[in-house]
Amino acid sequence: MMDVTNPNVPAMKEMPPGDVRGFDVRTGEQVWIFRTIPREGEPGNETWLTALTEDRASWEYSGNTNMWAWPSADEELGYVYLPISTPTNDYYGGYRPGDNLFAESIVCLDAKTGRRIWHFQAVHHGIWDYDFPAAPNVIDLEVEGRDEPVKALAAVSKQAFTYVFDRVTGEPIWPIEERPVPPGDVPGEWYAPTQPFPTKPPPFDQQGTTVDDLIDFTPELRAAALEVFNQHVTGPLFTAPSLVDASPGGNRGTLQMPGVVGGADWGGSAVDPETGILYVPSVHSESVIGIVPSEHPRSDMRLVVETLNLLEGPNELPLFKPPYGRLVAIDLNRGDILWSVANGDGPRDHPLLADLDLPPLGQPGRVSPLVTKSLVFLGEGGNSGVVVLQPIWGGAGGKQFRAYDKLTGDVVWEKELPGGTTAAPMTYMVDGRQYIVVTVGWEDMPSEYIALALP
């Protein structure tokens, strides 16, 4: 699969920035603008340095750094919370040295004026495409050890972290530590020496790659997985992209886990306002990030990502252990994971696995949850369109729609639909009866709405 930037398309370091604007809803007039790449004299501009090959600072020509997910807001405070994405050329940052504020940050603005109240950058000098993929959740918490309720903000991420803040001040609810990360060796790249690591809650999916993470359903599958694993640069979270060596036995790129679509992604998460429990769907999905020279004559970037290779494991099975799609419940009052369950069967009826009597392995699919008074509803996702998941036996997505017990994660009801869910379910009441509506789609059918009635 080709990414937007790859060797065969023009790779340009000059791109328009993704500035955020506020408009008067009655007149349509622009009221304010927040520059996601600060100009000279603005806070954060000092984090855009000048590359050794350039005669001007990188803020002058760098772009993207937009808000590709939607914001959230606190009407009482009058604040909006922006999830900001990665700057130009997601995987090679040699033309934009520095930490690159306000890329890959949560930015809190005054909704009336656009004035920045606070910000937090989750990735310094991003080269992994680890932008915030969904709107942060607004929730009031009874945090253990605090006398007063906390107006909080919880943001899930592709890298399987949940960042939890006081949404008034931007202070983390639990410490977030700057930890050293190893640099890479791509020529001309600039590497941030540290990255932020939340101490609580724990990661909700695998981070980094080791041989202990490889599938071991059978010794033969384990050996085949190890052979694929050894063709790549591997290591902990934030292992840098690497140069591709096309010679026999050469490096195929960095094996990145979670991959560029998570972990969590645009499906986001749902929070129960009564209990403070966050419900996060996560997909066990890796990416291969290999850097190569650009081949297009119009490119002014020397290096780009080769492709977003969707890694194929042995016999159409994933490379890493399951679950391949999961639902995770996180108690935001304590910063603990309450439970984590596989969402769906996954490939357990694969011919090499069918006789092993395996539990559900989890179905990879881009899904969004719905939380009600007693249940969490979750589908398995569609199998067409922008899925961007690794190849797997039976394909990504599935047609089952389930209700989980909020406190235990047990499946209490499930139903097969004509297609996989492609958006968050919604619920409403009519004449005392509750309904749930989902959008579904599949490769052999157009998208449609389905309404289900509760007894």
| Dihedrals phi, psi of 278, to nearest 5 degrees | -100, 135
Do residues 43 and 154 share a domain? Answer: yes
- pLDDT at position 3: 55
Residue 295 tokens, joined? 């081949």
d(C-alpha 356, C-alpha 379), whole Å: 26
Q: How confident is the model at residue 26 (pLDDT cuts 50, 70, 90)?
A: very high
Q: Which domain holds residue 29?
A: 20-364
Q: Is the pLDDT of residue 384 over 80?
A: no
- 34-43, 167-176, 300-309: which has the minimum mean pLDDT? 300-309
- pLDDT at position 281: 97
Residue 392 lies in a domain: yes
23 CA to centre of own chain:
29
Do residues 235 and 111 share a domain? Answer: yes
Neighbours of 379 (CB within 10 A): 35
Whether the CB-CB separation of 397 and 343 falls below 8 Å is answered with no
Do residues 129 and 202 share a domain? Answer: yes
Name the residue among 282, 266, 316, 326 with its Cα closest to residue 135. 266
d(C-alpha 23, C-alpha 175), whole Å: 36
Per-residue model confidence as pLDDT tens digits over 406-432? 999 999 999 999 999 999 999 999 999
Residue 4 lies in a domain: no
Residue 370 lies in a domain: no
> Based on the structure, what is the number of domains in the chain?
2
Do residues 319 and 440 share a domain? Answer: no
Region 374-394: mean pLDDT is: 80
Do residues 190 and 287 share a domain? Answer: yes
| Dihedrals phi, psi of 316, to nearest 5 degrees | 65, 20
Residue 138 lies in a domain: yes
Do residues 294 and 324 share a domain? Answer: yes
d(C-alpha 163, C-alpha 107), whole Å: 13
DSSP conformation class of 113: T
d(C-alpha 224, C-alpha 314), whole Å: 6
Do residues 358 and 439 share a domain? Answer: no
DSSP conformation letters of 183-227:
----TT----SEEEEESSSPPSS--S--GGGB--SSHHHHHHHHH
Q: How confident is the model at residue 390 (pLDDT cuts 50, 70, 90)?
A: low
Do residues 332 and 189 share a domain? Answer: yes
Region 235-257: mean pLDDT is: 96
Per-residue model confidence as pLDDT tens digits over 334-363? 999 999 999 999 999 999 999 999 999 999
Name the residue among 370, 382, 366 with its Cα closest to residue 417. 382
- 56-70, 114-128, 371-385, 404-418: which has the minimum mean pLDDT? 371-385
Residue 10 lies in a domain: no
